Structure 1
């Protein structure tokens, strides 16, 4: 039991990265009282360009995306997988499920994906915090620090 508790206290653990992201999205969700105000508000501030360089659109699109990703983390993506199977057809879904790495590469593959998860969760957390601060600016709430 002690080993599990110690891993939860690690700053760079996947668990903590997910909690930081979920916390940032929950804060965003509690702050943004009227999400429709985010429509047509461009993502144009300098600090947002790095975080949002992969996605065009307005703040509302980012808000919806962040909430969707949070829900996928909290509830799983089984529903999305089932919808994808319906769209692709059963044959395509079965073909995709047979692609498995060999046992020798599992550790490398795990570390590759773990590193990717940390990177993506960090960027998404910054994106949620930026959106929250921008919303505060748009509606005139002072003190936009994190």
Structure 2
């Protein structure tokens, strides 16, 4: 039987942290329109409103899954070197990238929430 605790580099823990950060962001940001035209710290980025929408959409995709369509498949270039890796190595490669991406999105969600609180004059 596996322990309910996850290693700090666990993808499941990273996904839970991301989902929690976006949930907190949604509960905090009561007027998302205040984020329009506020520059984000990340490059390239639209504005905080665009980030807000992207972070919500990404969480929705993580939690509900993505339907596999021919369009999604055709947009991803097939790298022959990656396809020749052993399945375990390929899995580790993709998990590493996914973990890094989820961690980055979590940090962006935290920064957006804090920036919104600064805009409305609430200090934690």
TM (norm. structure 1) is 0.73
Distance in 2, Cα, partners of 1:42 & 1:11 = 31
Structure 1 residue 84, shift from structure 2 partner: 2.9
Partner residue in 2 for 1:134 = 115
Asked if residue 101 in structure 1 is aligned to residue 83 in structure 2, the reply is yes
Runs of 4+ in 1 over 4 A off after TM superposition: none
Structure 1 residue 29, shift from structure 2 partner: 0.6
Partner residue in 2 for 1:28 = 25
Aligned residues: 121
More helix by share: 1
1:35-74 paired onto structure 2 within 5 Å: 35-43=32-40, 48=41, 52-53=42-43, 55-74=44-63
Structure 1 residue 82, shift from structure 2 partner: 3.7
Distance in 1, Cα, partners of 2:37 & 2:94 = 34
**Residues 70/83 of structure 1: CA separation in 2 closer, same or farther (3 Å cut):** farther
The structure with the largest alpha-carbon Rg is 1
Where does structure 2 lack aligned partners over 5 or more consecutive residues?
A: none
- 8 Å contact 2:36–2:48 — kept in the other structure? yes
